[in-house]
């Protein structure tokens, strides 16, 4: 049986591992050139081909996976001068694994449908570690028939695939998921400062919460940094967290939903990024909140 030819655009922290799993599981893979040459060269060594731009990726492939930063980058990859649309042919399927805005996802699906191109959303949860291991959680949006055609491709990098609704529902769920997780991050950071200012050290706080009813996977990666100072415990930047919380605010506003908690969480990340810390990872918010409050979590 002839295997689908897969294209991959965005071989960054998450995309490198995802693309690695696709090519290692026997799919012909074409990746787009990137300023960071290391992941591209690694994938070429594993058997992938390199294309100069998104148009060339689309021309060479049956399925194109996008894993870029956010909505503006998705728009550029699809509709730019040498974008996917320029090289698309009837039958092409695009799987957007970025964290993008549902309004853009639905618009692109509507615009591409007359060309015979299917646009699906399949955003991700978990970390680059699980991307490399092929164990990501994936939230998919689209028709059951369209998703069935690309199920095995997504399964290359997914440990769990949940179909959450029509096109755009995947990105909606991803934003809600990140609202919950970034809400926890802001809560942990504030709680650490409150506790330390009142004589309870981070290790003592962790000894109570870890293994209890408030424990979870996100808690463990967050506190792995707080307690062990492992900067790679959760490799998701404060700038990306701020971006996702802006998307959450936009989504709530468009639906007429009040989200005061969402805005409070967003402002934590906005302040951290405004002070030049957008490149730091999410657990490091604890240090920023402590500094704002004149607290030292390390003493």
In tens, the pLDDT along 189-241 reads: 999 999 999 999 999 999 999 999 999 999 999 999 999 999 999 989 999 99
Q: Does residue 214 sit in the same domain as residue 145?
A: no
Inside any domain, residue 297? no
Determine the pLDDT at residue 127.
87
* pLDDT averaged over every residue in the chain: 96
Tokens of 20: 């690695």
Inside any domain, residue 250? yes
The DSSP secondary-structure symbol of 277 reads I
Inside any domain, residue 298? no
Q: Does residue 176 sit in the same domain as residue 142?
A: no
Among residues 178, 181, 172, 108, the alpha carbon closest in space to that of 140 is found at 172
Determine the pLDDT at residue 34.
80
266 is catalytic: no
CA angle (274 as vertex; 270, 276 as ends), nearest 5: 125
Does pLDDT of 1 surpass 70? no
pLDDT digits (tens, 9 = 90+) for 91-133: 999 999 999 999 999 999 999 999 999 999 999 988 889 999 9
Inside any domain, residue 268? yes
Write down the catalytic residue from 49, 129, 135, 174.
174
Helix (H, G, I), strand (E, B) or coil at 7: strand
Q: Does residue 139 sit in the same domain as residue 198?
A: no
Q: Does residue 27 sit in the same domain as residue 114?
A: yes
Tally the domains of the chain: 2
CATH code at position 153: 3.40.50.720
Instruction: Compute the CA torsion angle 104, 13, 216, 264 (nearest 10 deg).
Output: -50
pTM of the model: 0.90
Last residue of a domain, one of 143, 166, 189: 166
Q: Return d(Cα 128, Cα 169) in angstroms, integer.
A: 23
Q: Does residue 155 sit in the same domain as residue 181?
A: no
Inside any domain, residue 31? yes
Q: Does residue 107 sit in the same domain as residue 214?
A: no
Q: Does residue 14 sit in the same domain as residue 152?
A: yes
CATH code at position 254: 1.10.1040.10
Does pLDDT of 169 surpass 90? yes
Averaged over 69-83, what is the pLDDT?
95
Determine the pLDDT at residue 179.
97
Q: Return d(Cα 235, Cα 1) in angstroms, integer.
A: 38
Q: Does residue 25 sit in the same domain as residue 145?
A: yes
Does pLDDT of 2 surpass 90? no
Q: Does residue 111 sit in the same domain as residue 45?
A: yes
Last residue of a domain, one of 166, 182, 212: 166
Determine the pLDDT at residue 163.
98
Are the C-beta atoms of 37 and 95 separated by less than 8 Å?
Answer: no
Q: Which domain holds residue 189?
A: 172-292
Q: Does residue 125 sit in the same domain as residue 246?
A: no
Instruction: Compute the CA torsion angle 146, 247, 243, 167 (nearest 10 deg).
Output: 0
The DSSP secondary-structure symbol of 114 reads G
Inside any domain, residue 1? no
The residue to which tokens 């699809």 are assigned? 78
Q: Return d(Cα 119, Cα 135) in angstroms, integer.
A: 23
Q: For strands 136-141 and 124-125, give the pairing.
A: antiparallel
Averaged over 75-100, what is the pLDDT?
96
Determine the pLDDT at residue 115.
97
Inside any domain, residue 299? no
Q: Does residue 155 sit in the same domain as residue 176?
A: no
Inside any domain, residue 226? yes
Does pLDDT of 33 surpass 90? no
Q: Does residue 36 sit in the same domain as residue 159?
A: yes
Determine the pLDDT at residue 50.
96
Last residue of a domain, one of 166, 186, 206: 166
């Amino acid at each position: 049986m002839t295997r689908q030819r897969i294209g991959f655009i965005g071989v960054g922290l998450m995309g490198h591992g995802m693309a690695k799993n696709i090519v290692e599981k026997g799919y012909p893979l074409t990746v787009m050139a990137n300023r960071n040459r290391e992941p591209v060269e690694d994938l070429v060594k594993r058997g992938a081909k390199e294309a100069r731009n998104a148009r060339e990726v689309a021309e060479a492939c049956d399925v194109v996976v996008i894993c870029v930063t956010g909505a503006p980058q998705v728009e550029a990859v699809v509709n730019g001068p040498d974008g996917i649309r320029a090289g698309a042919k009837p039958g092409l399927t695009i799987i957007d694994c970025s964290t993008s805005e549902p309004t853009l996802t639905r618009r692109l699906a509507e615009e591409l449908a007359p060309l015979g191109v299917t646009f699906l959303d399949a955003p991700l949860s978990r970390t680059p570690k699980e991307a490399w291991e092929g164990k990501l959680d994936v939230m998919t949006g689209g028709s059951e028939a369209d998703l069935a055609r690309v199920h095995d491709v997504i399964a290359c990098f997914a440990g769990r695939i949940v179909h959450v609704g029509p096109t755009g529902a995947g990105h909606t769920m991803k934003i809600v998921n990140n609202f919950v997780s970034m809400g926890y991050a802001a809560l942990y950071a504030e709680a650490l400062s409150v506790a330390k200012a009142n004589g309870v050290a981070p290790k003592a706080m962790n000894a109570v919460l870890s293994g209890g009813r408030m424990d979870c996977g996100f808690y463990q990666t967050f506190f792995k940094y707080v307690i062990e100072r492992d900067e790679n415990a959760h490799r998701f930047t404060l700038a990306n967290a701020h971006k996702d919380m802006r998307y959450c605010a936009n989504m709530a506003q468009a639906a007429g939903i009040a989200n005061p908690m969402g805005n409070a969480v967003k402002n934590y990340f906005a302040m951290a990024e405004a002070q030049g810390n957008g490149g730091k990872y999410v657990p490091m918010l604890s240090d920023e909140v402590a500094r704002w409050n004149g607290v030292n979590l390390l003493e």
